[in-house]
Amino acid sequence: MTLAATRSRPSLAGAFAHGSTLPVTIIVLIVIVIWYLAAIPMNRVLSEPLIAAAGGGLGNTLSISWSLPRPVLPAPHQVLIELWNTVFIVAPWRPKSLLYHCWVTLSSTLLGFILGTILGVGLAIAIVHVKALSRSLMPWIIASQTIPILAIAPMVIVVLGSIGLTGLLPKSLISMYLCFFPVTIGMVKGLASPDPMQLDLMRTYNASTTQVLWKLRWPASLPFLFASLKVAIAIALVGAIVGELPTGAQAGIGARLLNGSYYGQTQQIWAALVAAAVMSSGLVWLIGFIERRVALAMGGRP
């Protein structure tokens, strides 16, 4: 499976040519080139008077287009400088640090993810065991996801704020609201995945419903659970960011996005987006890592 790549160790150059490194690098380079080129016309309104004042020419055009203090589209290196300054220069506990905002968003993401997973698994267990629930509950669960989260998030924040709940929990609830859904859908399928023979076997042992759940349905559902969790943790992060938008945005990735757009700090917006992408892929990777360890412990073929 996934471990096949580590079994034989080709040379570094070979891995570069045959693995996914080379295609990914090429795509990244193409994107960067397009990005630099696009920055010239997009920043034209701001850069044109400055270029004229400097005497025009290609050199001036490029250097000015790519170094405006508040560009419409910042050049990649401007975003990198912003990232460097806010991640490595500023102390991480200060509100000017991007790490501080990442941690604020990450903490509500993780809390929402845990709550959503518990809710999702709980609903799935109930639905699998009680026939009536699958008919009565399922339509509501699906309907819950058709409501745009951007519409519902401010209401949740405001209503909870009015009863004194602010900060971490309201944002986590929005994450939970988004991420319980894939967990429920995946786990309903997963818990019902044992074949009739495996269930008959439990019946011949006169096993209780709880024993069937823990010794058969739960282990059989784990591949489905991990597939759902990968989706869930990514949208939990989206939920946390959306939850930060209507709060007046004191802290978090969402706050950075909002602040950046208020003050035309596009580097700040892009840096926050990069941070969100890095966190998101890191979290998905972490779930995948745990999944592989669990699969090995459960006798999966290496």
- Find all residues with CB under 8 Å of 194, minimum gap 6, and list them: 216, 217, 220
Give 268: exposed, middle or buried? Use CB within 10 Å, 0-12, 13-18, 19+. Answer: buried
Minimum gap (Å) between residue 183 Cβ and another protein: 20
Of 99 and 199, which has the nearer Cβ to another protein?
Answer: 199
Work out how close the CB of 212 gets to another protein at its nearest, in angstroms, rounded to a whole number. 9
- State the sign of the Cα–Cα–Cα–Cα dihedral 13, 14, 19, 24: positive
**Which residues of this protein are in contact with another protein, per CB under 8 A?**
195, 197-198, 200-207, 211, 215-216, 219-220, 222, 298-299, 301
**Own/partner pairs for 82-90, CB < 8 Å, 24+ apart?**
82/267, 82/268, 82/270, 82/271, 83/271, 83/274, 83/275, 86/268, 86/271
**Nearest approach, Cβ of residue 286 and another protein (Å):** 22
What's the min distance (Å) between Cβ of 1 and another protein? 13
User: Closest distance between another protein and the C-beta of residue 94, in Å?
Assistant: 48
Instruction: Kindly list the distances between the CA atom of residue 271 and the CA atoms of 96, 117, 261, in Å, as whole numbers in the listed order.
Output: 13, 29, 12
Q: Which is nearer to another protein, 101 or 217 (CB)?
A: 217
Instruction: Mention every residue, 6+ apart, whose C-beta is less than 8 A from residue 67.
Output: 75, 78
* Minimum CB distance to another protein smaller for 45 or for 197: 197
Smaller CB separation from another protein, 212 or 272: 212
Q: Which residue, 96 or 293, has its beta carbon nearer to another protein?
A: 293
For another protein, the closer of residues 229 and 237 by Cβ is 229
Contact of 138 with 262, CB cutoff 8 Å = no
Q: For the CB of residue 293, give the shortest distance to another protein in the complex, in Å.
A: 14
Q: Which of 193, 192, 173 is nearest to 118 (CA)?
A: 173
The residue to which tokens 């250097």 are assigned: 63
Radius of gyration of the chain (CA): 25
Residue 86: DSSP 8-state = I
Q: How far is the CB of 239 from another protein (least distance, A)?
A: 32
Q: Which is nearer to another protein, 82 or 291 (CB)?
A: 291
